[in-house]
Amino acid sequence: MTDLTDLTLAEILTAMRAGALTSLELTRACLERAERLEPALHAFLYLAAEQALDKAAQADRQWAAWRLDPRQTLPPLLGVPLAVKDVLCVQGMPCTCGSRILEGFIPPYHATAVERLLAAGAIVLGKTNTDEFAMGSSTEHSAFGVTHNPWDLERVPGGSSGGSAVTVAARLASVALGTDTGGSVRHPASFTGVTAIKPTYGRVSRFGLVAFGSSLDVVGAFARKVEDAAAVYQVMAGADERDATTSNLAVQLFEPAPAAHKPLAGLRLGVPDEYFITGIQPEVEAAVRAALSVFEQLGVIIQPISLPHTSYALPVYYIIAPAEASANLARYDGVRYGRRAAGGNMWDVFRRTRGEKFGPEVKRRIMLGTYALSAGYYDAYYGQAQKVRTLIRRDFISAFEQVDLIAAPVTPTTAFRIGEHADDPLAMYLEDIFTLPANLAGIPALAFPVGFDQQGLPVGMQLMAPHFEEQRLFHAGCAYQQVTGWHQASPSLQGSKI
Ligand code: GLN
């Protein structure tokens, strides 16, 4: 048998069904690996080892009972180890959002996404590292230290859900949860060579997710392959009365089609010129173009398209997201929320708490957002950005009249070195150039690995679909992974420090 931590969801569940694998064995294997690799990777902010082992033993008892009476229906992810980004509440586990201001906060309730996964039988291994309040593209903005990319420990894993991506890439967890406000699920998936789904805005409840940009935030999943990401997605998705933006549309269940000669015959795949800009690393473009040829062999019709407002996505996002963040983060004043800094009068407490406990990137966003929302500038910045956001959304709606899916790179380059963008926030923001448009439009997107650059770093590509058409993404991504092996590659982690 291959290493247990290498198994896909389908392999895990088949082996557990057959009694050839227990959840305890798998959970223990993940935890032992985490213990060995954590000093080099720092993917977790909190490991719930004992609790996970208890839950795994419980899951095994359920499996054993089922084997005696297989007519029972079992929860779909029974005994599967899951890592959770530290911006989602898991009852009883610390939730810091990568920030000093939330140090010591232990939520008394579960986020809906987590609650549904627990009800489906998943085992939470722990909470993963993130850029502070999910603001960033490298995990370097975490107040608790950077997460390292398992393909090259000197490089970032991308972000902001870098910790979660690394747990899946380095085989510390079978699946993981992240959040995507401007690319934070797809970006680290691309840098670490794993598959990830960013669902339609409103498809997964945000209840229990610490808010960053409320009109953009969505919970997504990381996995080894498309079917696994789909399995996690469909457990989390669906209406929730505690989040009024969730949709009542029924969640369709994904059934992978058997491998066929031209499984995607007739599917129209749009390739926007605006995503193949100068400055993109040639190996990234080459790998994405090679993937497009694979799609062609699968029967897809490639169609050049234009999304003319793409270049505005970056400035629009960096007004709207900070504006929403500045409002959402106003509550951390040491009185209503947040760990209080000592001070004299009330204003002094506010100033010190926020001044001492927010990191520089969060402060930058709060200042940008407050400025953009201030009287006299509101129309010029926030109001204008909202109008351009509508144009970006319309670009997609009209493109989807001609094509079924849109293909693009996820990031302009492969993983960069730790510290490379440290003094240049704009260079960091440019990382998000290809991921932001889907968030502004609210559409779903699937990221998956399509090759490596010459240094052996993974390259990712994304497919985007119309609102609520996640099934189309899974169908196409799954067909691609049936004929390619990029998603099976795993980092050797043979570095000198390990
Ligand atoms: N990198 C983007 C930002 O810094 C997106 C973050 C996210 O999706 N959470 O805002």
Distance 293 CA to ligand 1 centre (A): 31
Catalytic residue among 160, 161, 174, 490: 160
Q: What is the pLDDT of residues 358-367, one digit of tens each?
A: 999 999 999 9
Residue 75 lies in a domain: yes
Q: Which domain holds residue 15?
A: 4-266+445-488
Which ligand 1 atom sits nearest the alpha carbon of residue 159? Answer: 1
> What are the φ and ψ backbone dihedral angles of 297, each rounded to 5 degrees?
-65, -25
Q: What is the pLDDT of residues 431-450, one digit of tens each?
A: 999 999 999 999 999 999 99
Catalytic residue among 23, 55, 85, 225: 85
CB 229, CB 74: distance < 8 Å: no
Instruction: Answer whether 324 contacts ligand 1 (Cβ < 6 A).
Output: no
CB 56, CB 79: distance < 8 Å: yes
Residue 339 has pLDDT above 90, yes or no: no
Distance 184 CA to ligand 1 centre (A): 5
Which ligand 1 atom sits nearest the alpha carbon of residue 432? Answer: 1
Based on the residue annotation, tell me whether 23 is a catalytic residue of this protein: no
Residue 336 lies in a domain: no
Residue 475 lies in a domain: yes
- Token readout for 341 is 């800094």
Domain count, the chain: 1
Which ligand 1 atom sits nearest the alpha carbon of residue 185? Answer: 8
Closest among 135, 114, 142, 254 to 187, alpha carbons compared: 135
Residue 113 lies in a domain: yes
Which ligand 1 atom sits nearest the alpha carbon of residue 318? Answer: 10
Residue 230 lies in a domain: yes
12-21 average pLDDT score: 96
Instruction: Answer whether 184 contacts ligand 1 (Cβ < 6 A).
Output: yes
CB 169, CB 491: distance < 8 Å: yes
Distance 77 CA to ligand 1 centre (A): 29
202-217 average pLDDT score: 98
Q: Give the domain CATH number at 236.
A: 3.90.1300.10
Residue 405 lies in a domain: no
Distance 187 CA to ligand 1 centre (A): 9
Based on the residue annotation, tell me whether 184 is a catalytic residue of this protein: yes
Per-residue pLDDT at 278: 82
* CB atoms inside a 10 Å sphere around CB 423: 8
Instruction: Out of 129, 181, 362, 426, give the residue to mutate to test ligand 1, the one with the largest number of ligand atoms within 8 Å of its CB.
Output: 181
Residue 407 has pLDDT above 80, yes or no: yes
Q: Between the CA of residue 459 and those of 4, 207, 452, what are the distances in Å?
A: 25, 33, 5
Q: What is the pLDDT of residues 437-495, one digit of tens each?
A: 999 999 999 999 999 999 999 999 999 999 999 999 999 999 999 999 999 999 998 65
Per-residue pLDDT at 88: 99
Based on the residue annotation, tell me whether 85 is a catalytic residue of this protein: yes
Q: Is the dihedral of CA 211, 325, 420, 422 positive or negative?
A: negative
Residue 61 lies in a domain: yes
Residue 496 has pLDDT above 50, yes or no: no
Residue 199 lies in a domain: yes
* CB atoms inside a 10 Å sphere around CB 363: 14
Catalytic residue among 99, 138, 164, 184: 184
CB 422, CB 140: distance < 8 Å: yes
The rounded distance, in Å, linking the Cα atoms of 116 and 120 is 6
Distance 186 CA to ligand 1 centre (A): 10
Residue 498 has pLDDT above 80, yes or no: no
Distance 284 CA to ligand 1 centre (A): 21
141-169 average pLDDT score: 98
Q: What is the pLDDT of residues 295-328, one digit of tens each?
A: 999 999 999 999 999 999 999 999 999 999 999 9
